[in-house]
């Protein structure tokens, strides 16, 4: 007797739901993507108890007729692809035809939809149709999901806390709102509005709705393209960063996607502009021919494959690096404006207006300094990027604090320079240039340096004698498990030769199997630079300060040490006046 049976449709849908509907956020994702594919310009997501009690998604899209409303819950029923060739030219967010069947198999679903005439209501619970009837003719679609996972207790048991479920939904809605700034999104939980965008198709405005005005003010717009890709979006200044990678948001043809290589190259583009354990806020939209990308590798449609990935990675890296390299990236220390400051400014700015008869007409108030910092999203001023040599302004040192921080001034304000971080940057770029462009100039050691090694270290080092010779070292075997250094490259720091030679030998011995010369040179340069830089509590003369600042001005990136710490910060003249309560007292001087 045959043991193989064809499982019924409901059981098959429950199994499929295990891949498609993992948690409340999965339901929201599938329903919102359907609303977007239905050409909606407004989408509202309403939750109760983070979606565990209710998920309601309302849109103003094209809607469905009665026949399609019923058919849409069948597995593999879709209007988005018709034959195999469509798989290689997908222009919609959904296409599998599994989501609604999967959701309906593990919940109670009420669908109301209309194309503007007679509306249709469909109620399905556990995959079984409970009711189909006519309803109001509001154009668009409403999905109400209740009793989620009621018939799969194991899945229900393993739902996270309400806060975790809500955070997951919010994270998804934030990202989909960024991918479609032309759509007005509203997210509500237990009657409280979490997110509301205006659908004005202004990406920076959407970023402000999600991350706040302070972050939006510190975003840089990027645009670039080649024969296959068009990239656009915003990247944060290095000073704006987060502890996790989740805020590196990549969009492909309007779809929120994940690609580890793409995220890695975006983060690496900020190398030495920020600490390695911090990550930027980035929203990059990539437009390309759908035939060059495969989104059909996982039911969630988040993981994708690019057919020309290396070309894309190079374009993204070049675009971000070039943008950062043309910015003046000195963090400005800002004092928040408190109520007292605002009252002073507003009081001073009030116009003297004769009283009017109309009681409901209030006096006009000019813009205050506080108001002037708001972004004009619709008419963003394109600031002229500074020339390379002007990225670090002219600074005039006037003293030293705690033997560590150089105090400078100019007409803009006051600056503090960390002398160790600044010298570390200068040395790092010097060493990196010398390692990347080796020359044969050498200096003989007055007393040759002998280094003893363990037997395994000696074997590894011996294999790399040619590598060290190309760097400019004369190195030879010298007895058992020992080597002797007779000369070294001319660029080693005077007084630190012994230490730097040992650091180089150590780096060569421990270099990774998947050796990358550029990364090796970078790591070695950062290591050598730190050891050879001015230490804290070292008093410099004004001339020495000026010399260090001039060296820093010539650097490729004068704003950060090799490890991403800032070399310089500034207090603008306005911020200084604000801290001393002078900004509201000009008329009382």
Q: Helix (H, G, I), strand (E, B), or coil: what is residue 187?
A: strand
- Domain-terminating residue out of 296, 324, 352: 324
- Residue 462: φ, ψ to 5°: -60, -35
pLDDT at position 95 over 50: no
Distance of CA 499 to the CA centre of its chain: 38
Residue 439: pLDDT band by 50, 70, 90 thresholds?
confident
Instruction: Compute, in degrees rounded to 10, the torsion defined by CA atoms 562, 565, 571, 572.
Output: 50
Dist CA 342 CA 584 (whole Å): 8
Give pLDDT, residue 375.
Answer: 59
CB 375 within 8 A of CB 204: yes
Distance CA 218, CA 221 (A): 10
- For residues 415 and 364, membership in a common domain is answered with yes
* pLDDT (tens digit per residue) in 277-287: 899 999 999 99
Q: Evaluate whether 17 touches 110 at the Cβ level (below 8 Å).
A: no
**8 A C-beta contact, residue 384 and residue 530:** no
**Same domain, residue pair 190 and 211:** no
pLDDT of 479 reads 84
Which 8-state DSSP code applies to residue 384? P
CATH number at residue 246: 3.30.230.10
349-376 average pLDDT score: 38
- The reported pLDDT for the residue numbered 368 is 33
Judge whether 30 and 109 are in contact, CB under 8 Å.
Answer: no
Q: Do 207 and 295 reside in the same domain of the chain? A: yes
Residue 435 pLDDT > 50? yes
pLDDT at residue 304 tops 80 = no
- Residue 41 pLDDT greater than 90, yes or no: yes
C-alpha dihedral over 234, 236, 238, 241, to 10 degrees?
-130
Please give the Cα distance from 203 to 182 (Å, whole number): 8
From CA 533, how far away is CA 413, in angstroms rounded? 27
Domain encompassing residue 365: 333-437+541-589
pLDDT at 180: 95
Measure the CA dihedral 266/321/327/530, to 10°: 90
Residue 375 lies in a domain: yes
CA distance 193 to 173: 13
Residue 92 pLDDT greater than 90, yes or no: no
Residue 376 has pLDDT above 80, yes or no: no
Q: Is position 536 within any domain?
A: no
Nearest Cα to Cα of residue 252 among 268, 237, 231, 269: 231
The answer on pLDDT for 19 being more than 70 is: no
Question: Rounded distance, CA 257 to CA 178, Å?
Answer: 12
Distance CA 178, CA 256 (A): 9
Mean pLDDT of 30-58: 94
Assigned domain for 565 exists: yes
- For 238-279, the DSSP string reads TTSEESSGGGEEEEETTEEEB-HHHHHHHHHTTBTTB-TT-E
Let me know if residue 585 belongs to a domain: yes
Q: Record the tokens describing residue 68, joined without a space.
A: 């399609």
The predicted pLDDT at position 358 comes to 38
**In the prediction, which pLDDT does 584 show?**
59
Residues 84 and 231 in one domain: no
* Inside any domain, residue 1: no
For residue 427, the domain's CATH number is: 3.30.1540.20
Query: 419-436 vs 517-531: helix axis angle to the nearest 10?
Result: 140
Taking the mean position of all CA atoms in its chain, how far away is CA 447? Answer: 52
- Distance of alpha carbon 406 from alpha carbon 418, whole angstroms: 7
Q: Taking phi first (over 0 means left), then psi (-120 to 50 degrees means alpha), and beta for anything else, what does residue 90 get?
A: beta
> Within 10 A of 545 (CB to CB), how many other CB atoms are there?
22
167 shares its domain with 25 = yes
> 340 vs 48, 82, 199, 344, 372, CA distance in Å?
40, 65, 36, 6, 18
Structural domain tally of the chain? 4
Say whether both 587 and 525 belong to one domain.
no
Does residue 345 register a pLDDT over 60?
Answer: no
What's the pLDDT score for residue 60? 95
**Residue 80: which pLDDT band, with cuts at 50, 70 and 90?**
very low
Q: What pTM was estimated for this model as a whole? A: 0.78
pLDDT digits (tens, 9 = 90+) for 482-522: 999 999 999 898 888 888 999 999 999 988 767 788 889 99
Residue 84 has pLDDT above 50, yes or no: no
Which CATH number goes with the domain that contains 509?
A: 3.30.1370.100
Q: CA 170 to CA 26: how far, in whole Å?
A: 12
The mean pLDDT of 399-420, rounded to a whole number, is 94
User: What confidence tier does 366 reach under pLDDT thresholds 50, 70, 90?
Assistant: very low
Residue 586 pLDDT > 60: no
Same domain for 219 and 285, yes or no, is yes
Answer whether residue 3 is part of any domain. no
Is the pLDDT confidence value at 258 over 90? Answer: no
Q: Are residues 550 and 433 in the same domain?
A: yes
Cross-strand pairs, 160: none
Largest CA distance in the chain: 103
Q: Please say which residue of 298, 324, 350 terminates a domain.
A: 324
Cα 262 to Cα 389: distance, rounded to the nearest angstrom: 31
pLDDT value at residue 18: 46
**542-553 vs 419-436: helix crossing angle, rounded to 10:** 50
| 35 sits in which H/E element | helix 24-37
Give domain status of residue 44, yes or no.
yes
> Residue 307: its pLDDT value, please?
81
15 and 150 in one domain? yes
pLDDT digits (tens, 9 = 90+) for 121-153: 999 998 899 999 999 889 999 999 999 988 887
Domain boundary among 266, 293, 324: 324
- The answer to whether residues 62 and 172 belong to one domain is yes
Mean of per-residue pLDDT scores for the chain: 83
Instruction: Decide if pLDDT at 373 tops 60.
Output: no
Cβ distance 77 to 71 under 8 Å? yes
Element (H, E) at 69: helix 66-71
pLDDT digits (tens, 9 = 90+) for 543-575: 999 999 999 999 999 999 999 999 999 999 988
Whether residue 248 sits in one domain with residue 307: yes
- Count the helices and strands in the chain (H runs, E runs): 18, 24
Given a cut of 80, whether residue 392 has pLDDT beyond it is: yes
CATH number of the structural domain spanning residue 134: 3.30.565.10
Q: Are residues 75 and 183 in the same domain?
A: yes
With cut-offs at 50, 70 and 90, classify the pLDDT of residue 226. Answer: very high
pLDDT, one tens digit per residue, over 447-479 is 899 999 998 899 999 988 998 998 889 999 998
Looking at the predicted structure, is the pLDDT value of residue 406 above 70?
yes
pLDDT tens for each residue of 166-196: 999 999 999 999 999 999 999 999 999 999 9
pLDDT at 412 over 70: yes
DSSP three-state, residue 315: helix
Looking at residue 191, what is its pLDDT?
95
């Amino acid at each position: 007797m045959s043991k193989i049976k064809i499982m019924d449709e409901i059981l098959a849908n429950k199994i499929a739901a295990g891949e498609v509907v993992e948690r409340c956020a999965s339901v929201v994702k599938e329903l919102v993507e359907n609303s977007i594919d239905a050409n909606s310009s407004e989408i509202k997501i309403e939750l109760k108890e983070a979606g565990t009690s209710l998920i309601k998604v309302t849109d103003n899209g094209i809607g469905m007729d009665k026949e399609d409303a019923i058919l849409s819950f069948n597995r593999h029923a879709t209007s988005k692809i018709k034959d195999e060739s469509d798989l290689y030219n997908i222009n919609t967010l959904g296409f599998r035809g599994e989501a609604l069947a999967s959701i309906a198999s593990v919940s109670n679903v009420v669908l109301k939809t209309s194309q503007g005439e007679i509306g249709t209501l469909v109620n399905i619970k556990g995959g079984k149709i409970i009711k189909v009837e006519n309803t109001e003719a509001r154009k668009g679609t409403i999905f109400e999901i209740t009793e989620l996972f009621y018939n799969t207790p194991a899945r229900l048991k393993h739902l996270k806390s309400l806060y975790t479920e809500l955070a997951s939904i919010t994270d998804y809605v934030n990202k989909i709102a960024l991918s479609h700034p032309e759509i007005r999104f509203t997210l509500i939980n237990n009657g409280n509005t979490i997110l509301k965008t205006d659908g004005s198709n202004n990406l920076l405005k959407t970023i402000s709705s999600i991350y706040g005005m302070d972050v939006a003010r510190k975003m840089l717009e990027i645009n670039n393209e080649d024969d296959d890709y068009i990239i656009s979006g915003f990247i944060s200044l290095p000073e704006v960063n987060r502890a996790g990678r989740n805020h590196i948001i990549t969009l492909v043809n309007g779809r929120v996607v994940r690609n580890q290589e793409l995220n890695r190259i975006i983060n690496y583009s900020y190398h030495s502009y920020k600490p390695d354990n911090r990550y930027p806020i980035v929203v990059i939209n990539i437009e390309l021919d759908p035939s060059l990308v495969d989104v059909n590798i996982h039911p969630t449609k988040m993981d994708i494959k690019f057919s020309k990935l290396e070309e894309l990675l190079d374009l993204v890296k070049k675009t971000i690096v070039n943008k950062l390299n043309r910015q003046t990236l000195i963090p400005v220390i800002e004092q928040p404006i408190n109520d007292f400051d605002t009252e002073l400014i507003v009081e001073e700015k009030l116009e003297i207006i004769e009283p009017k008869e109309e009681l409901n007409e209030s006096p006009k108030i000019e813009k205050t300094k506080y108001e002037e910092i708001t972004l004009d999203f619709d008419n963003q001023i394109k600031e002229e990027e500074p020339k390379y040599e002007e990225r670090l302004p002219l600074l005039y040192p006037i003293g030293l604090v705690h033997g560590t921080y150089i105090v400078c001034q100019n007409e803009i304000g006051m600056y503090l320079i960390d002398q160790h971080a600044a010298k570390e940057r200068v040395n790092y770029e010097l060493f990196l240039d010398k390692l990347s462009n080796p020359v044969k100039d050498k200096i003989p050691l007055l007393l040759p340096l002998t280094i003893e090694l363990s037997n395994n270290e000696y074997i590894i080092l011996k294999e790399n004698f040619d590598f060290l010779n190309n760097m400019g070292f004369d190195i030879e075997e010298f007895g058992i498990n020992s080597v002797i250094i007779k000369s070294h490259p001319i660029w080693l720091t005077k007084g630190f030769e012994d230490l730097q030679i040992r650091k180089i030998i150590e780096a060569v011995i421990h270099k990774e199997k998947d050796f990358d010369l550029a990364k090796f040179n970078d790591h070695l340069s950062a290591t050598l630079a730190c050891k050879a830089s001015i230490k804290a509590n070292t008093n410099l003369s004004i001339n020495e300060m000026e010399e260090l600042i001039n060296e820093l001005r010539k650097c490729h990136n004068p704003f950060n040490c090799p490890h991403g710490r800032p070399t310089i910060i500034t207090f603008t003249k306005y911020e200084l006046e604000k801290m001393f309560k002078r900004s509201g007292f000009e008329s009382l001087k």
